[in-house]
Structure 1
Amino acid sequence: MTGPASPGARALPRAGLPTDLVGTGAAALVAPLLAAFVAWPIARLAAALAPPDAAVLDALVRSVRVAGASTLVTLALALALAFAVTRAGIPGRRLVSAACLLPTFGPPFLAALALDLLLGPARGPGVLVAAQVLTFLPYAYLLLATALDGLDVSLDEAAESLGARRLTVLRRVTLVLLRPRLATTALVVFALALGDFANPFLLAGGHPVLTTLMYARAVGAHDAVAAATPAVLLLVPGVLAALVLARRDPGALPLVALLARRAPLRPAPALVRWPLAALAVLAALVQSAVPVLVVAGSLGAVPGGDWSPSFRHWAGLAAPGVASAVLTSVGLGGAAGLAGVLLAFAVAHAIRRARPPLARVLWWLALAPAALPGAVVGVAYLLALGAPAGPLAGTFWILVAGVVCWRLPVALRAAAEALGRVGPALEEAAVSLGAGLGRTYARVFVPLLAAPAWSLFFFFFVEGVVTVSVVVFLASPGATPGAVTLLERAARGELGGACALAAVLFALVLAAAASARALAGPGRLAVPKL
């Protein structure tokens, strides 16, 4: 939920370089694509807005209550966890970081599936809040840990040298410097919780929130127009979070490669360090237990009841509908990876080379999806591109377009930063040595952009495999990804089959991570999150 730096701040190479032609061509290509797949769906969504009825208002109040509770608990836990890892000097902090991030590589409702296994048919706001806290804690932790890791520890030392106690330093120095990121994190988590679809779909217990109400109207009642009003209501926190990230806290985009990159200079006192260590270990164990419990559920005869070993749920993966769903997920991840990398670099290249008016228009068009929760993108695409007479209606390619355009703002920043490292001096040196367009790209751009490209391919591949909120609105009988099939099976109470399918998708993502790391090179895989 963030965007690249303002195009006005970029350093343009000297005019007349061969790559200028590619930048001009990229601008001519991406402008109509962004108009068709970003501007048009948003315009159709706005045009379908109507006054909210009683059901929408009731769902809005319930959504705000759940999202508010989830945000408060998540923020408190994430702050304690981030402080423990980056400042308290707890042992095994890298392992704690890795364990807390493990669920982010699976479908976004693994926590709901695990709670369903543990609690049975329990439903309600409390269980839903617990699932959302487990789901969004890794992202809040990333935002706060990267901010804490970047604070200058010498400021704390200076305050202590003037006689301030550790608690005073924490309250008057550290938390004051961290205040902008705390506000950003709270806003981001609130927007994520408000736009969450999968967890409420499984755990809301017949009490609809905005996202499940949108699904009931758009998919259940086949009335996408009626889903437009709750979709527009979801835009408010999304727009606010995107503007804050882009304007106030542009460094908030966390990269997995930055975790625990620096040891704290001075460990916290034992009375502080060991309670924080216990909390961090507990958080790591709980987050690690989520995928472990899901795998165990796939091996139980009746998950949640009879846990005796059985492979019948894995045998069910060979069923035609399930096998085709897994293949669709792999295809969607691969297609989204390739299209996403090409589009992100094309847009970044066009913004970098285009003149300010056009560059600013392209930048805002590419940034716009950052304000849209996935469910809103799904409804907007249904209205604009999913009409029965539309060329993409019911096809595999509308899924690819939805995933790529929704996650483009996050990828665009990474692509823009990668292109920014290819300085004008390198291009001018290649030209002065007689290199043409093809040779300049082959010898200058490709080697420098290979690792970021593989990182972005992995990012889009993961989104294609595990994303639910967008594709659940756009899936059709001929194009149903594995994550949607998994959600449907869990909703029907087929927990064993759902767990087996979740384990397969989780294994796909881990295999893709290993492959991308090998292709990008050791230590060079930096995956954008959020």
Structure 2
Amino acid sequence: MQESQNALYNEDSGFKRYFKQLKFSLRDPVLLVSVISVTIIVAMFIVIPLFSILRESVEATGTFSLKSYSAIFRSSYDLEIIWNTIKLGLVVATLGTAVAFLFAYATTYLKIPNKRFFKVLSILPMISPPFVISLAAILLFGRSGLVSYKLFGVRNDIYGFWGLALTQVLSFFPIGYLMLTNLLQNIDPSVEEAAQALGSNQARVFMTVTIPLMLPGLANAALLIFIQSLADFGNAIVIGGNFTTMAVQIYQQGIGSYDMQGATALAVVLLMISVLAFYLQNSVIGKKSYITVTGKASKQRIMNANKKVTIPVYIICMAISVTVVSMYLLVPYGAFVRLWGVDFSFTTRWIKYVLTIGMRYIKDTTILAALATPISAIMGIVAAYLIVRKDFPGKKALEWSILMAIALPGTVLGLGYVLTYNTPPLILTGSGFILVVALVIRSMPIGTRSAIAALKQIDPSIEEAASICGAGSQKVFISVTIPLIRPVFFSGLVYSFIRGMTLVSTIIFLVSARWQMLTVAIMNQVDQGLYGAANAYCLVLIVIVGGVMLLMNLFIKTLGINLNEGY
């Protein structure tokens, strides 16, 4: 009897809490409008497209059927593609994390020269299309490669598993490098120095102190790289060859073969793998950190100058750095070569081609990215503010939906938009609007996550004091909250523009005769073997992104804002 009363009391308390939140929301019109707006956007462009994919995958002639799933798991070809994707992800995550840790350790712990040069690697993949390294690898080591054919006279076939694994490792290890660098900087040097004072040598301290402290961070970085590898479409379609991954197969099956049911079923399987990896990263491993026990570094670290360690690490890091930078230097070189592999004479034909015929791609991409940038940054901040600072019905569901979008492979989301908005009552495919939406939805979750982390570091009493003085939610948000998290907001602007200019996996489903994107144009040129035009497009894209980043950083510095305090 007592248990029943307690259950009723707890249930009643839950209802009371729900109605209290609802009543408070209704009393604050700005909060209510914000919650409704963000919820509608998330529902329309994240939840409903995913539901459309799920529905399409289990419907056969209007009735419920799991035929498409059984076909996948009975097909040796589909099972091979699933295994290919997982195997590739595991290899890339392992190698990428190892390279990332080597670079992070070298720049944080070792006394070596050219550290700034190594840090440039963390920026290069951001300001370029995701498949630039694949294109460069083909130009260097392909059948007509500068190294393989011109230097050694070998018609090398770089396409396939190892070519794709190499390019993904070089493309994605900077993600792990940035994460691990921050974690290593936060280890208190006194912990390691105490171990050395007790008689341990540097190797023993590294194995028994540093590595155990970094294990959660290493697992976190590995899972993030694994998720990136699963979702990668650009590198896989450019250099994958006969080694097909799930992201590519979804596109080919849905758009090429018009088998939407089979494509959606495969998309759901890919989504489940990505979501499981994201859950492990976010909920299990992401919450474990031994570094916080020691707090932030209380003293400056004494750099390790032991040449037995510094020399081999420096040689490895320099070799990888030179390889990556050389690949990026091939882009401007290849843009001025008449015919790659045959005629290496200088020409400006490809640049002229891009600046005339390709000008439409440049204009469309820049306009759409510029439109999506402020929307994405503002929505990310607003969503984070609602999640951290406000209570309202459905808050947990909203938070989960937004953060889950980080794990969504771009091909899955793009396919969802085609299924949802290609038929009445709301036809959006083929319009610039759906492309802007895609760019916003792909960037907003990262901004939200960063803003949530920043808001949790700010004492709520600052905002409460403004409220007590009579300021409403809108006034508090604009006058108090935004100034406190300005670095995150401006970092969000920079990130959103870069993502808008370089996104490929989602928008490849959505481009039309009216609206085209640079990344899709580059892929079309690669597919036709026109490497000069592809390089010229890449060069223009990198110049635009780099130029806008430089201008935005100069503007941000004039405001006295340090972006390192943000993301």
TM-score, normalised relative to structure 2: 0.83
Indicate conservation of the 8 Å contact 1:109/1:199, yes or no: yes
Q: How much does 1:387 deviate?
A: 4.1
In the alignment, does 2:538 pair up with 1:502? yes
Indicate conservation of the 8 Å contact 2:405/2:442, yes or no: yes
Query: d(CA) in 2 for partners of 1:360 and 1:301?
Result: 57
> Residue 128 of structure 2 aligns with which residue?
106
Q: How much does 1:176 deviate?
A: 1.1
Distance 1:26 1:120, change over 3 A: same
Distance 1:152 1:244, change over 3 A: farther
Range with bigger deviation, 262-271 or 502-511: 262-271
Aligned residues: 507
> Residue 65 of structure 1 aligns with which residue?
87
Unmatched 5+ stretches in structure 2: 1-22, 58-67, 144-156, 290-296
Choose from 37, 40, 48 the match for 2:45: 37
Indicate conservation of the 8 Å contact 1:411/1:528, yes or no: no
SS in 2 for 1:103: coil
Query: d(CA) in 1 for partners of 2:163 and 2:95?
Result: 13
In the alignment, does 2:418 pair up with 1:398? no
SS in 2 for 1:226: helix
> Residue 354 of structure 2 aligns with which residue?
317
Q: How much does 1:306 deviate?
A: 2.5
> Residue 333 of structure 2 aligns with which residue?
296
Amino acid at match of 2:551: S
SS in 1 for 2:123: helix
In the alignment, does 2:380 pair up with 1:358? no
Distance 1:207 1:266, change over 3 A: closer
Residue-by-residue CA offset, 1:19-53 (whole Å, 9 max, x unaligned):
95433321121112211111111112222333114
Amino acid at match of 1:310: T
Query: d(CA) in 2 for partners of 1:445 and 1:183?
Result: 33
Indicate conservation of the 8 Å contact 1:184/1:241, yes or no: no
SS in 2 for 1:89: coil
Query: d(CA) in 2 for partners of 1:235 and 1:420?
Result: 29
Choose from 97, 119, 136 the match for 1:97: 119
Query: d(CA) in 1 for partners of 2:184 and 2:482?
Result: 34
SS in 1 for 2:304: coil
Distance 1:244 1:512, change over 3 A: farther
Residue-by-residue CA offset, 1:417-458 (whole Å, 9 max, x unaligned):
444566544445445666667665554345334443222111
Q: How much does 1:95 deviate?
A: 2.7
Q: How much does 1:16 deviate?
A: 8.8
Residue-by-residue CA offset, 1:31-89 (whole Å, 9 max, x unaligned):
12211111111112222333114432121122223333322322222221211111112
> Residue 245 of structure 1 aligns with which residue?
281
Distance 1:31 1:302, change over 3 A: same
Q: Percent identity?
A: 27
Query: d(CA) in 1 for partners of 2:507 and 2:87?
Result: 26
Indicate conservation of the 8 Å contact 2:122/2:175, yes or no: no
Distance 1:527 1:40, change over 3 A: farther
Choose from 189, 209, 228 the match for 1:153: 189
Unmatched 5+ stretches in structure 1: 1-14, 253-259
In the alignment, does 2:457 pair up with 1:407? no
Query: d(CA) in 1 for partners of 2:27 and 2:192?
Result: 47
> Residue 167 of structure 2 aligns with which residue?
131
Indicate conservation of the 8 Å contact 2:238/2:527, yes or no: yes
Amino acid at match of 1:317: V
Query: d(CA) in 2 for partners of 1:304 and 1:187?
Result: 38
In the alignment, does 2:36 pair up with 1:28? yes
Q: How much does 1:504 deviate?
A: 0.8
Amino acid at match of 1:22: V
Choose 1 or 2 for highest CA Rg.
Answer: 2
Distance 1:305 1:70, change over 3 A: farther
Query: d(CA) in 2 for partners of 1:431 and 1:176?
Result: 45
Range with bigger deviation, 56-65 or 489-498: 56-65
> Residue 466 of structure 1 aligns with which residue?
502
TM-score, normalised relative to structure 1: 0.88
Distance 1:100 1:35, change over 3 A: closer
Range with bigger deviation, 457-466 or 417-426: 417-426
Distance 1:396 1:34, change over 3 A: same
Distance 1:274 1:454, change over 3 A: same
Query: d(CA) in 1 for partners of 2:505 and 2:288?
Result: 26
Choose from 46, 56, 73 the match for 1:48: 56
Q: How much does 1:115 deviate?
A: 0.9
Query: d(CA) in 2 for partners of 1:48 and 1:126?
Result: 34
Query: d(CA) in 1 for partners of 2:474 and 2:214?
Result: 46
Counting only pairs closer than 5 Å after superposition, residues 134-213 of structure 1 correspond to structure 2 as 134-213=170-249
Counting only pairs closer than 5 Å after superposition, residues 216-295 of structure 1 correspond to structure 2 as 216-247=252-283, 248-249=285-286, 264-295=301-332
Choose from 522, 546, 551 the match for 1:515: 551
Indicate conservation of the 8 Å contact 1:300/1:306, yes or no: yes
Distance 1:126 1:291, change over 3 A: same
Amino acid at match of 1:37: F
Q: How much does 1:501 deviate?
A: 0.5
Query: d(CA) in 2 for partners of 1:364 and 1:436?
Result: 27
Distance 1:26 1:435, change over 3 A: closer
Amino acid at match of 2:336: L
**Which structure carries more relative contact order (alpha carbon 8 Å, separation 6+)?**
1
SS in 2 for 1:460: helix
- Cα RMSD, aligned residues only: 2.8
Distance 1:162 1:421, change over 3 A: closer
Amino acid at match of 1:34: V
Distance 1:366 1:271, change over 3 A: same
Amino acid at match of 2:359: A
> Residue 5 of structure 2 aligns with which residue?
none
Distance 1:226 1:389, change over 3 A: farther
Query: d(CA) in 2 for partners of 1:102 and 1:132?
Result: 14
SS in 1 for 2:129: coil
